[in-house]
Structure 1
Amino acid sequence: MTETIKLKSPIDGSIYAERPVATDQAVNAAVERAKAAQAAWAQTSIAERGKYLLAFLEALLAMNDEIVPELAWQMGRPTRYGGEKGGVEERTRYMVALAEKALAPYVPEDRPGFRRYLKKEPLGVVFVIAPWNYPYLTAVNSIVPALMAGNAVILKHAAQTLLVGERFAKAFERAGLPKGVFQNIVLNHAQTEKLLGSGKIDHVNFTGSVAGGRAIEKAAAGTFMTLGLELGGKDPAYVLPDVKLDHAVANLVDGAFYNSGQCCCGIERVYVHEKVYDEFVEGFIAETKNYRVGNPLDQATTMGPMAQARFADFIREQKAEALRKGATAHIGMKVENDREGSPYLAPEVLTNVDHQMSVMREESFGPIVGIMKVRNDEEAIALMNDSPYGLTASIWTTDTDRAAAIGDRIETGTVFMNRCDYVDPGLVWTGVKETGKGGAMSVVGYENLTRPKSYHLRETI
């Protein structure tokens, strides 16, 4: 009997899509096609690659009216937000435009009688394992620069967003991309591990859990492939006394609860200076109560269900533990179907929290946030660094120099000031500690998808 991957919709629990798992023979054939196609693709000029990628973008954008409700059915994001069209277009156009400069050879100081330069060669076959929470944006982060750099790409998308991989494949087909340069395949965990250990993959890019990252490192051990791993996060915010309070409240509430809190760089803990603590908390609670939780296909819904019921149950457990240890819950929103075993979950704001509670230490990845009062920068910095993760941290102040100085001391991949939850394609997207290794976007993203090759040519003898 053929094994299949089933996509259970968080809207109503129905099976929204089901696809057969690729056979081992089909996987091997896909890898061979990728290797054969990559050799010719690497000889294609960067400008020509860019034309294909921009045609792909236009084809994908043309599908947006179909993609938006598909996303709601697959992972629960409300249709009112219009999908991921804006970010996909921004990142794709930026990385295509950057490619000529980022991939240009480096020429060191002149040495008479010698021609010396360093080229950036494609790695070969890049395996992208994409997540469900931002299924287009996170995939684009790797796929676009990998192809622009001359690599072939094999995509395995998350089971929760199976149809996204098919959309990518269709867009590349409409763009006329040479066959084999991009392929979407459906794999189970065992096949994924086998492919990683086969020695036929040159680079893997994975966005997901810490446990998933460890499993990938283990599966790839001994192959010497390069790894790009974006794993867990527990992103903090620090609100200083000179903050523009209304701006901070509105943006931090959105940063905590957009996409039902299922954001890699979502705000999960907030530290507020004692001078503005009471006013900030009051505003934060009031803003949170404006959310309307419900069916994501309803235009009035501002927060849909979480992607899976087990994710919502984990948030319920974190909240219950925090309350047992003395935390105070402030929202108490009544939401239909908000019960154990359901993906529908109301947002929650907790105060009287501390770092003995899971909600302030372990990744939540859901609509819950803890707010702590702090006395000064020293206390805030210590608390922000008291985490096994380090993806982003945001600082809310009118003093840029102070924000930069605080940022220098925070263990994180990105420092924001007066904004959060955003990927700037001109800056590297990376993390420290258990958040992972490698980096996407910017010139650094291209460096991670190429290998240096030196040319030392003696012109005279």
Structure 2
Amino acid sequence: MTRMQQTISPVDGSVYVTRPLASDAEIQQALSLAKSAQKSWASVALAERQAICSKAVDWFEANKAEIGQEICWQMGRPIRYAQGEIAGLAERARHMIAESDAALAAITLPDKKGFSRFITREPVGVVAVIAPWNYPYLTAINSIVPALLAGNSVILKHSAQTPLCAERLKSAFDAAGLPEGVFQYLHLSHEDTTQLIQSDAVNHVAFTGSVPAGAHVEQAAAGRFIGVGLELGGKDPAYVREDADLDHAADTVIDGAFFNSGQSCCGIERIYVHASVYDTFVDKAVAIVRQYQLGRPDEPDTTLGPLVRTRAADFVRGQIEEAIAQGAVAHIDEKTFPLSQAGTPYLAPQILTHVDHSMRVMHEESFGPVVGIMKVSSDEEAVALMNDSDFGLTASIFTRDIEQGIALGKQVETGTFFINRCDYLDPALAWTGVKQSGRGCTLSALGFAALTRPKSFHIQTLA
């Protein structure tokens, strides 16, 4: 009996996509094909791999309007922003293509009499990429493009919420002339995904998702001695110092907290503001949030769409209600956002003050349109609170004193540190996290390291 997978659109609760799950025979066939195709792909010149990846990016740019519609309906991002993900995909992919010559070049060691020595970067083999729904192309491309450039083959398992993204990636690489079997996708159940990870044919796993799911991936790969890259959760903080440009800080931090309805692993979920500018900052932040238009994401005026599903919205509602019961003050009247209704994925944005770290909303990942703002009296207090978290993906400080900002940034436990910006991945910089935000690295020249293995050549020359 064929097992089916349904994608329920958060736009209106309709079934948007139905796909059959891969059978055991199809999974084994994909693994066998990936393994055999990788051998020949690894022998293809890097320049040709680069050209194929570039053509795939061209395909995405040519089809961004249709793809934007699909993003909107699959996961609920407002249509006015949906095509922007393709621009981000192109930026990252093209940077990694340009970076690959240097990142994959052999390391030649200094001359040693009678010997020549060098180190090459060899592909690991078959890479399994497990991608999430919240930024379905950006998260996937971080691993797919460098894996292919390095000479690996890739099997993509995308979220059941965004299955069309896997299919569009396949279409792009097919149109670019990628040899058969080098890039494949499989629609899989959780159980079959576990078996994929445990297959002897898989040599590396790149996973983006929740902490519990990341722990499961790590357990599934245990004892196989393969690489596992884990990009997990975040509860990212921002600190607004007394010397900050408050208009810039408010605009930037609020966008970082509420873009994509707060469904970003590197979105701002905690804000600390120096007491001397606290009231002014809160007033500015509240004024910005009141301008949001909560609505159906397929409508052009909507600036805040639904969460991905009702269960996610109910989770955030629970955090907000519990914090208010514990003494937090809500600054946004939900009635001014009439589409926000219990039992739906539509949720009004919320700013909370009088919060502290005993409240779930300040230490548990929300992944929704809510942020708590705390008053602090010093840099030391702010840094201590920023570090008081199980997560460490990104952190931001807003200040005119760049030197002091950098000094504080060195004290913050985080993978990426920003000054006067947030919620952005620069493809030239390593994307990594500490604590429960994960392990491993994508993007930058360093992102190729996990997708290759060093091979040393030690050659004695005989007279």
Q: State the TM-score, normalizing by the size of structure 2.
A: 0.99
Residue 342 of structure 1 pairs with residue 344 of structure 2: yes
Q: Which amino acid aligns with 1:160?
A: Q
Deviation of 1:341 after TM superposition, in Å, equals 2.1
Match of 1:90 in 2: 91
After TM superposition, the structure 1 = structure 2 runs for residues 426-437 of structure 1, keeping only pairs within 5 Å, are: 426-437=428-439
Deviation of 1:145 after TM superposition, in Å, equals 0.6
Tell me if the contact between 1:34 and 1:125 (Cα under 8 Å) persists in the aligned partners: yes
Whole-angstrom distance in 2 between the partners of 1:240 and 1:105 = 45
Residue 190 of structure 1 pairs with residue 154 of structure 2: no
Whole-angstrom distance in 2 between the partners of 1:417 and 1:143 = 29
Q: Which amino acid aligns with 2:34?
A: A
Tell me if the contact between 1:289 and 1:333 (Cα under 8 Å) persists in the aligned partners: no
Tell me if the contact between 2:393 and 2:416 (Cα under 8 Å) persists in the aligned partners: yes
Tell me if the contact between 1:154 and 1:183 (Cα under 8 Å) persists in the aligned partners: yes
Tell me if the contact between 1:256 and 1:369 (Cα under 8 Å) persists in the aligned partners: yes
Deviation of 1:411 after TM superposition, in Å, equals 0.5
Match of 1:33 in 2: 33
Whole-angstrom distance in 2 between the partners of 1:170 and 1:336 = 40
**Which of 372, 384, 405 is matched with 1:382 structurally?**
384
Match of 1:222 in 2: 223
| Structure 1 unaligned spans of 5+ | none
Deviation of 1:316 after TM superposition, in Å, equals 0.2
Q: Which amino acid aligns with 1:94?
A: H
CA-based RMSD of the aligned residues comes to 0.8
CA-to-partner distance for each residue in 1:71-116, whole Å, 9 max, x for gaps? 1110000011142121111101100000000111112222111110
Query: Identity of aligned pairs, percent?
Result: 54
Match of 2:12 in 1: 12
Question: What SS does the aligned partner of 1:153 have?
Answer: strand
CA-to-partner distance for each residue in 1:254-284, whole Å, 9 max, x for gaps? 0000000001100000000111101000000
Whole-angstrom distance in 1 between the partners of 2:200 and 2:34 = 14
Match of 2:358 in 1: 356
Q: Which amino acid aligns with 1:39?
A: K
Match of 1:109 in 2: 110
Q: Which amino acid aligns with 1:191?
A: D
Whole-angstrom distance in 2 between the partners of 1:264 and 1:317 = 20
Count of residue pairs brought into register by the alignment: 461
Deviation of 1:337 after TM superposition, in Å, equals 4.2
Match of 1:290 in 2: 291
Tell me if the contact between 2:294 and 2:339 (Cα under 8 Å) persists in the aligned partners: no
Whole-angstrom distance in 2 between the partners of 1:184 and 1:75 = 19
Match of 1:120 in 2: 121
Q: Which amino acid aligns with 1:165?
A: A
Match of 2:133 in 1: 132
CA-to-partner distance for each residue in 1:123-145, whole Å, 9 max, x for gaps? 10000000000001111101011
Deviation of 1:338 after TM superposition, in Å, equals 2.1
Tell me if the contact between 2:120 and 2:454 (Cα under 8 Å) persists in the aligned partners: yes
Whole-angstrom distance in 1 between the partners of 2:155 and 2:60 = 18
Residue 149 of structure 1 pairs with residue 150 of structure 2: yes
After TM superposition, the structure 1 = structure 2 runs for residues 353-432 of structure 1, keeping only pairs within 5 Å, are: 353-432=355-434
Deviation of 1:225 after TM superposition, in Å, equals 1.1
Residue 49 of structure 1 pairs with residue 62 of structure 2: no
Whole-angstrom distance in 2 between the partners of 1:98 and 1:106 = 15
Deviation of 1:333 after TM superposition, in Å, equals 3.2
Whole-angstrom distance in 1 between the partners of 2:287 and 2:243 = 21
Tell me if the contact between 1:309 and 1:342 (Cα under 8 Å) persists in the aligned partners: yes
Q: Which amino acid aligns with 1:96?
A: I
Deviation of 1:332 after TM superposition, in Å, equals 1.2
CA-to-partner distance for each residue in 1:163-206, whole Å, 9 max, x for gaps? 10000011111111100000011100000101111222100001
Question: What SS does the aligned partner of 1:275 have?
Answer: helix
Question: What SS does the aligned partner of 1:268 have?
Answer: strand
Whole-angstrom distance in 1 between the partners of 2:242 and 2:109 = 49
Whole-angstrom distance in 2 between the partners of 1:346 and 1:460 = 76
Whole-angstrom distance in 1 between the partners of 2:105 and 2:92 = 20
Q: Which amino acid aligns with 1:105?
A: A
Whole-angstrom distance in 2 between the partners of 1:327 and 1:240 = 22
Whole-angstrom distance in 2 between the partners of 1:377 and 1:459 = 60
| Structure 2 unaligned spans of 5+ | none
After TM superposition, the structure 1 = structure 2 runs for residues 147-296 of structure 1, keeping only pairs within 5 Å, are: 147-296=148-297
Match of 2:441 in 1: 439
Q: State the TM-score, normalizing by the size of structure 1.
A: 0.99
Question: What SS does the aligned partner of 1:100 have?
Answer: helix
